[in-house]
Amino acid sequence: MNLKLKELRIKYKYTSKDIADILGISKPFYSQIENGRRRLSYDMAVKISKIFKMKPDELFYDDHKIVLKEM
């Protein structure tokens, strides 16, 4: 999920400071969330999901396809 936050932020052309300011937290605190050093609470996920116009649960799911090997 950490990679997802960074990808979304870049896709929407935000800096980590922009996101931190919108959320009312410090840039270092947001960077820790994005880099996986802090856990993302559900309340914070709700706030972040509003920025990216998505459901909070979508932040916790990996969009990358799983490729299964044939046996």
Is 68 inside a domain boundary?
Answer: no
Q: State mean pLDDT over 3-26.
A: 94
36 CB-near residues (< 8 Å, 6+ apart): 2
User: Domain of 38?
Assistant: 2-60
What string of DSSP letters covers 27-71? HHHHHHHHTTSS---HHHHHHHHHHTTS-GGGGGS--SPPPPPP-
d(CA 37, CA 55): 23
* pLDDT greater than 90 at residue 58: no
Is 7 inside a domain boundary?
Answer: yes
* CATH number of residue 42's parent domain: 1.10.260.40
- Going by pLDDT thresholds of 50, 70 and 90, the confidence category of residue 3 is confident
Structurally, the chain folds into a number of domains equal to 1
What pLDDT shows up at residue 65? 43
Condensed to tens digits (0 to 9), the pLDDT of residues 24-56 reads 999 999 999 999 899 988 899 999 999 999 998
Q: Which pTM value belongs to this model?
A: 0.79
